[in-house]
Structure 1
């Protein structure tokens, strides 16, 4: 085992690592005290590993550097034709710029304000214009759970991250399923059966089939639901992005008192000769990076990566090109990232690679950067919030570590900052690519605790 250290007990770390069942070649560990600028421990640090969602650290740091924390995505409402007494004799155009944070309530607000400003009855079509990204090629799903929210592919115009929320509850010894938002084009068929076991793996026990008949999509739940589960929620992407956004727009337009005579049409061509009527702005990137890192939001990360390229007039807009652009931008800052392979901004990939040393160097550079407060605050605080809310609560390091986790099949990783008991800041990176990787959390926690105490 190759290692480097300063003023620390290397044997203790080796003993912790040796308690794992991971093959020696299948994991990497990198610890550096960036307050004192000395490496504490490293192993396999130059070997490239699949980092899973740790790739979001690269995406969010690069996004802050290129776009700035004040950056906001915009969604424009334009029109063509004649406007008279709240009647539009022409087309209403929704021009999107990649805002993956756009929610059902955001869309409702946009529609309400457009109608208040003077367009209520449309004697024409609704055009969804997505020239900003253009027509993207969908990437293969990371697993066989194609309807799960984490598998949603990026798109320039997307509402509710292209998901419907399904709430399961038990009333009068019956399983109820409610959807939000409700749409007439979606029908739920409930064939769920009760079990008396455990609620721990309730999502894995759900079986569902999706089928579209004419203009109605049916989702049939035919798995098991445990009596101890009480109320649970899952977000599923059961409608195509166009069908969901169009259905939500039509519903909300009519709820607010409007009417539409024409059809919904999608285009990837830039709209010309249209008049701008209203503009909606997202929350600033300084807040969006918190959603991406604290809650590991895949679609937001993927759209952020594409936005960097699109905002810099990249062509063609693809995830591979966006990844290449991000890497080149970082290397122009004289960052050593030879190991980095990024084909989407979320790490939802079997091809993504980075070494612990390179990722550790990025974390060190981020801590010294102008946007350090926004970046560090975006990471889950151990035992406090995000994906680490329920982890490590009884450890001494709880509250003192800001760490991003990553996990896909045979990959488990964690990286970030530890503010140790001596008031030093340490960068910590652990990545395992191994059939038993997902059993390594206990070893990770021991290493994180050791790093805090020493």
Structure 2
């Protein structure tokens, strides 16, 4: 009996020592006790290592992408590919189409300028060069979506682009700033004749750390021309920088790019460029483009926190399952119900945006930990884990934790918006055990907590 009591005493002392070590780390964060949660579970040994506020729901910011990508792999499959169809109505004779060309979009968020160029080249090779009719973009797959308000005051930044059935280059134009002969040069890619750049930037010598915040830009559309006027400063130390901005309307950019490329390949269009949200019937297919498989696309979503891809993925899951109406709120509800039917406990989940770019999103750390544990035992575990940033190695964690023992041994998704900071994923600890780790803070000092997060992740690896 004395031996059993001694063993119990030693075990409880070790447990309290562990708890005290974690609490000491948390206390240094200066976060209010009610404003954060932490959940660590050793899924190799099936024991909860530490939990605090684990059943209280918090906003997870981009960590919500874990739910979106897990659901995508489960409900669509890693082999899923988005398609974009080119259809027509009318008659083709000697490379002349007497009728309308229709681009039927199915929500592919990965379609690039190069992809669009390839589509056009293939269509023209199939026998349509001159269109005596309209070019119509059929966006009936999602239907007309309500734009969600930007998460901050930077509404033209790429991360704030709203979802849509047909997007090219994530509805952004790339602006490259470089210094040539003591002057600032601005180049755009792709070049668009209806986009005019006005350069009022001042060259300075103050350092390059906050170069994006030092840019000012005003956008105005006059008739069919969009003007972007850059002001503020650009520093000599920056040398060359790039930024993607969504400066043209959600319909105007794809139309402008299609028109440019169609003519660049030698074609002509007699009619107009139009968008419709009504399904067009009695069409004939001439070409179909397919995206990369979802198993690869989820890496873009999680490793580089691609918001538009995540949001379109959420809507695609609902649309592919014949959901109606197609809204981000309905898609969030559908995912919650579908995953809970698959015995993934997500009762705390409130999801209205596949990217976590929302002030209304919520989930508790215990539910996220359960999803991570379930994902580890699922068929698509390799695709899911491979999509997460490896600390100190790649993605959003490439420059983080390089000098820690845990470097290379943790796959974690980060999330951050104002007053929200979160990180969650897997830690393969020094004893070869697998642990799920979830930390979420919703606090005025949340965005200052990354050092504390790293200490907790390091402790989890070492203990």
TM-score under structure 2 normalisation? Answer: 0.96
Partner of 1:272: 281
Q: Residues of 1 paired with 2:310 and 2:204: CA distance? A: 37
Structure 1 window deviating more from structure 2 (240-249 vs 330-339): it is 330-339
Whether contact under 8 Å (1:6, 1:39) holds in the other structure is no
- Contact 1:397 / 1:452 at 8 angstroms: preserved in 2? yes
Which one of 100, 103, 106 corresponds to residue 109 of structure 2?
A: 100
- What residue number does 2:124 align with? 115
Q: CA deviation at 1:247?
A: 0.2
Q: Aligned with 1:354: secondary structure?
A: coil
In structure 1, distance between residues paired with 2:210 and 2:350: 33
Please give the residue correspondences for 1:14-413 in structure 2 after superposition, counting only pairs within 5 Å.
14-413=23-422
CA distance in 2, matches of 1:334, 1:398: 33
After TM superposition, give the deviation of residue 6 of structure 1 in Å.
Answer: 5.7
1:255 and 1:334 map into 2 onto residues whose CA distance is 53
State the Cα RMSD in Å: 1.3
Match of 2:423 among 414, 429, 437: 414
1:417-453, Cα deviation, whole Å (9 max, x unpaired): 0111111111001111011111000000001111111
- Cα distance, 1:396 vs structure 2: 0.8
Distance 1:206 1:14 in 2: 42
The answer to whether residue 436 in structure 2 is matched with residue 427 in structure 1 is yes
CA shift in 2, pair 1:336/1:121, >3 Å:
same
Map Cα deviations across residues 388-421 of structure 1 (whole Å, 9 max, x no partner).
1111111111111100000000001110001111
Q: Distance in 2 between matches of 1:272 and 1:71?
A: 25
Shift of 1:11: 1.2
CA distance in 1, matches of 2:169, 2:86: 18
Alpha-carbon offset, residue 201 of structure 1: 1.2
CA–CA distance in structure 1, aligned partners of residues 255 and 34 of structure 2: 50
State the alpha-carbon separation in 2 of the partners of residues 196 and 427 from structure 1: 46
C-alpha distance in 2, partners of 1:247/1:7?
Answer: 64
Question: What's the offset of the Cα at 1:197?
Answer: 1.9
TM superposition shift of 1:365: 0.4
- 2:95 and 2:266 map into 1 onto residues whose CA distance is 11
Measure the CA separation in 2 of the matches of 1:85 and 1:198: 60
* CA apart distance, 1:195: 2.3
In the alignment, is the contact (CA less than 8 A) between 1:97 and 1:132 conserved in 2? yes
Q: Distance in 2 between matches of 1:321 and 1:129?
A: 22
- CA shift digits 1:14-34 (9 cap, x unpaired): 111111111111111111111
CA distance in 2 between counterparts of 1:26 and 1:65 reads 32
SS of residue in 1 equivalent to 2:251: helix
Q: Cα distance, 1:214 vs. partner?
A: 1.4
The Cα shift of 1:325 comes to 0.2
SS in 2 for 1:161: helix
Q: Structure 1 372/265 Cα, relative in aligned 2: closer, same or farther at 3 Å?
A: same
Alignment length, in residue pairs? 452
Aligned to 2:457: 448
C-alpha distance in structure 1 between counterparts of 2:224 and 2:207, whole Å: 37
Q: C-alpha offsets along residues 133-153 of structure 1, whole Å, 9 cap, x if unaligned?
A: 001111111111110001100
Q: Which runs of 5+ in 1 are unaligned?
A: none
